[in-house]
């Protein structure tokens, strides 16, 4: 979109209106991640606009665009969701009603709630399930940006509330979401990539990494239940990957690193 043109903003608002009518829930994700300013900085139309408007920059144009699309959601009584770059990497200040989805690093979660915004935790370092298969550029024999692979234990051990000590700020962490991007996944691999790792994430997201008595849940404690869940999934035709060798599943507690 050429954000220097009013027609582009109207186009975006029309898309919002159309999809808001199709999907009647109260949430609407606006995206906003990995915005490439260079595309606009090199665009002749944008350059021409900025030259004729001395106070305009790519950042002010982007802020105006965000103001318009957030305003459209407000008019429709929708709650905006946005990736964290809108909050941390732009001059725009989102409305406090915006839910910020954090992904760049785990510290983005406490930074978001410290500013008074609600957060959905999706840190790439713990919750990006497509990572760990190397680069997808065919002339580069190296790692992808988000390697290594996120094991079910790594996912289970992540605590979205880590480094948040204020009880009011903890309440602003309203959810968590894993992500499985499609650069190196498709319908043939999706079951294997998702399950049972999502089950590990679901338990700590719903029940908490720490139980009501203050006990920190461990991977050793949950392993057998995850084995059982994996067998249930496979029995229903979902090709969930194994957690451990079959012998370990049949002999609970016997595949532990000596303490």
Per-residue model confidence as pLDDT tens digits over 204-221: 999 989 888 999 999 999
Q: Residue 119 forms beta bridges with which residues?
A: 100, 173
Of 96, 107, 105, 144, nearest to 127 (Cα)?
Answer: 105
Of 255, 148, 163, nearest to 209 (Cα)?
Answer: 163
Active site (annotated) includes residue 34:
yes
Under the banding of pLDDT at 50, 70 and 90, the label for residue 259 is confident
Per-residue pLDDT reduced to its tens digit, 18-63: 999 999 999 999 999 999 999 999 999 999 999 999 999 999 999 9
Contact between 110 and 169 (Cβ < 8 Å) = yes
Whole-model pTM: value is 0.93
Beta-carbon-side half-sphere exposure of residue 105 (alpha carbons within 13 Å): 4
Mean per-residue pLDDT, 170-190: 96
Annotated active-site residue in 10, 18, 26, 34: 34
Q: What percent of the chain has pLDDT over 70?
A: 100
Q: What is the pLDDT of residue 14?
A: 97
Q: Is 43 left (phi over 0), alpha (psi -120 to 50) or beta?
A: beta
Pairing type for strands 118-121 and 27-29 reads unpaired
């Amino acid at each position: 979109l050429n954000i220097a043109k009013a027609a582009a903003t109207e186009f975006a608002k029309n898309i919002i209106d159309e999809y808001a009518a199709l999907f009647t829930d109260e949430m609407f994700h606006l995206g906003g991640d990995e915005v490439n300013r260079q595309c606009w900085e090199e665009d002749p139309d944008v350059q021409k606009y900025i030259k004729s408007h001395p106070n305009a920059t790519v950042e002010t144009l982007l802020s105006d665009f965000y103001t318009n699309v957030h305003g459209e959601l407000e008019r429709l009584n929708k709650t905006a969701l946005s990736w964290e770059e809108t909050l941390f990497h732009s001059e725009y200040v989102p409305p406090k009603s915006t839910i910020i989805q954090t992904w760049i690093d785990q510290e983005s979660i406490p930074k978001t709630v410290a500013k008074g915004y609600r957060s959905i935790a999706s840190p790439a370092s713990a919750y990006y399930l497509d990572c760990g298969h190397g680069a997808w550029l065919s002339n580069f024999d190296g790692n992808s940006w988000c390697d290594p692979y996120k094991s079910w234990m790594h996912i289970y051990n992540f605590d979205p509330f880590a480094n948040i000590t204020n009880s009011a700020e903890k309440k602003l962490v309203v959810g968590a979401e894993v992500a499985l991007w499609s650069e190196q996944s498709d319908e043939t691999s999706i079951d294997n990539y998702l399950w049972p790792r999502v089950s590990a994430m679901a338990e700590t997201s719903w029940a908490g990494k720490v139980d009501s008595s203050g006990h920190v849940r461990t991977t050793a404690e949950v392993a057998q239940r995850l084995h059982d869940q994996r067998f249930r999934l496979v029995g229903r035709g979902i090709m969930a990957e194994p957690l451990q060798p079959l012998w370990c599943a049949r002999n609970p507690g016997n595949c532990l690193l000596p303490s």
